[in-house]
Amino acid sequence: MSKKSILAALFILAGAGGGYFYWQKHQAEFAAAAANAALSTKDEAPKAPAISVTRIKPSEFVETALVTGSLIAREEILVSPEIEGFRVVELFADEGSTVKKGQILARLVAEQLEAQVAQNEANKARANAAIAQAKSRITEAEARKSEADAQLERAVPLKKSGYLSGSVYDQRESAARTSEAQVAAARDGLTSAEAEKAQIEAQLRELNWRRGNTEVKSPEDGIVSRRNARLGAVATAAGEPMFRIIAKGEIELDAEVVETELVKVKEGQKARVLVPGGDEADGVVRLVSPEIDRTTRMGRAKIFLGAKPGLRIGAFARGTIQTASSRGLGAPTAALMFDPAGTYVQLLDGDKVHRRIVKTGLVTGDLIEVTEGLNEGDTIVARAGTFLRDGDIIRPVLLDDKISASAAGAN
């Protein structure tokens, strides 16, 4: 019973009829009750607030960068016809087909080229015959030249001795020169015939190449992602290619990265990619662009995923890149406070809290790495609050014990 209640009761009794006599009779009891109430009120002291605390312990930290983008082919092969102006007569692959290097994808009409090849084969045969004739003429001319040279050689001493007239000598000398010219002409004829044959052979090689390219083949193993070729259409290298192939079926994420995170992204870092529908794939950063878009302030990175049949190019995907990892002392992020002097926590010493400046590192979930300022086993206020001051006395409630007690109660 409080002191105020006792006094109120006394006044009520004093004002009631016969209250005075009642007061006289129980005066000692009222005095004792008032004294006890006053003593009880004096002994009551304010209780310290119950504050959740936690112990510092080692934890694993992994820092990640969030990225988003679209799935693309690691290398996309554009297959166009090597020759133009020929109709497509057969198709052997469709979108989604798995193809091998050298596999025929389409065939073009080849009758015109085959006729030209046959004509050039005949021209080549005529060139061979012309070469043979030229060689025969050279042999004949060389024989005549040998004979004329011999007659001229015999005429020289006869002319000197006076047994041969000058006109006959002149005839033999003229014959020797004529035969020499005939040999040169025959050799020129052979050169011309051989040149013509070489030209015909070059034309024939081109025609055979063109005929061979009436079969449009895959230059690499892969998966056909798009087919634009149509039966009866005229093949042309202008415009869209006949086929688009994902080389080796390999896919990567063309990801956009926030400018502040891009500096942490390096080639070779591990990544995890999630696409709509719940499909996940492990990847590795293959390329980091050196350019940042001046409008969006976003950079780009390519995350290589490999051959993943369940993934489709063009699909939106998001991923996380593991930019750093370490093992160190962990503290709840909620325990940290900041002011101009730096980052600090409220360290528990007995039942008093003390301010402690710390240095931090990586962040994982709701834990932050403390690199300086705390030791393993230190106890800190789990959720820092401005109502606590340096030196305040608290009634610590270990957060781990509270969790264990709640789990036991649930069981």
Q: Residue 305 in contact with residue 251, Cβ under 8 Å?
A: yes
pLDDT band for position 27 (50/70/90)? low
Q: What is d(CA 411, CA 408) in angstroms, rounded to the nearest whole number? A: 5
Q: Are 381 and 374 in contact (CB under 8 A)?
A: no
Mean of the pLDDT values across residues 60-67? Answer: 89
Selection from 71-75, 133-137, 138-142 with the highest mean pLDDT: 71-75
How many CB atoms sit inside 10 A of residue 251's CB?
27
Report the pLDDT value the prediction gives residue 174, as an integer from 0 to 100.
80
- The pLDDT of residue 15 is 46
Q: How confident is the model at residue 404 (pLDDT cuts 50, 70, 90)?
A: very low
Beta pairing partners, 331:
368
Q: Name the residue with higher pLDDT: 257 or 25.
A: 257
Q: Give every CB contact of residue 354 below 8 A, 6+ residues apart in sequence.
A: 346, 347, 348, 390, 391
* Reported confidence tier of residue 73, pLDDT bands at 50, 70, 90: very high
Average of per-residue pLDDT values in the chain: 82
Per-residue pLDDT tens digits for 298-339: 999 999 999 988 888 999 999 999 988 889 999 998 889 888
Q: What is the per-residue pLDDT for 290?
A: 92
- When pLDDT is cut at 50, 70 and 90, the band that residue 29 belongs to is low
Q: CA 97, CA 90: separation in Å to the nearest integer?
A: 16
For residue range 245-278, list pLDDT tens digits in order: 999 999 999 999 999 899 999 999 999 999 877 7
* pLDDT band per the 50, 70, 90 thresholds, residue 34: low
- Give the Cα separation of 211 and 165 in Å (integer): 69
Residue 358 confidence class, pLDDT cut points 50, 70, 90: very high
Residue keyed to tokens 């990175």:
301
What confidence tier does 31 reach under pLDDT thresholds 50, 70, 90?
Answer: low
- Of residues 183 and 77, more confidence is placed in 77
In the prediction, which pLDDT does 43 show? 47
Confidence check: pLDDT of 90 > 60:
yes
pLDDT (tens digit, 9 = 90+) per residue, 195-221? Answer: 888 898 898 888 888 888 888 999 999
pTM for the whole thing?
A: 0.62
Report, as an integer, the average pLDDT of 163-180: 75
User: Which residues are CB-contacts of 262 (< 8 A; sequence separation ≥ 6)?
Assistant: 65, 288, 292, 299, 301
pLDDT given for residue 42 in this prediction: 46
Report residue 32 as tokens: 């004792």
Give the pLDDT mean for 16-34: 49
Instruction: Give the mean model confidence (pLDDT) for residues 149-173.
Output: 72
Stretch 149-163: mean pLDDT: 72
CA distance 207 to 201: 10
Which one of 117-131, 160-174, 258-272 scores highest in mean pLDDT? 258-272
Instruction: Please report the pLDDT score of residue 132 as a whole number.
Output: 87
| pLDDT for position 231 | 92
Cβ(252)–Cβ(286) below 8 Å: yes
Listing DSSP states for 21-68 in one string gives HHHHHTHHHHHHHHHHHHHHHHH--PPPPEEEEEE-EEEEEEEEEEEE
The pair of structure tokens assigned to 331 is 């503290």
pLDDT on residue 85: 86
Does the pLDDT at position 190 exceed 90? no
Q: Please state the rounded mean pLDDT for residues 50-58.
A: 89
Residue 216: CB atoms within 10 Å:
24
Please compute the mean of the pLDDT values over residues 119-143 and round it to a whole number: 85
16 vs 75: which has the higher pLDDT: 75
Residue 267, sorted as left (phi over 0), alpha (psi -120 to 50) or beta, turns out to be beta
Confidence of residue 385 (pLDDT cuts 50, 70, 90): low
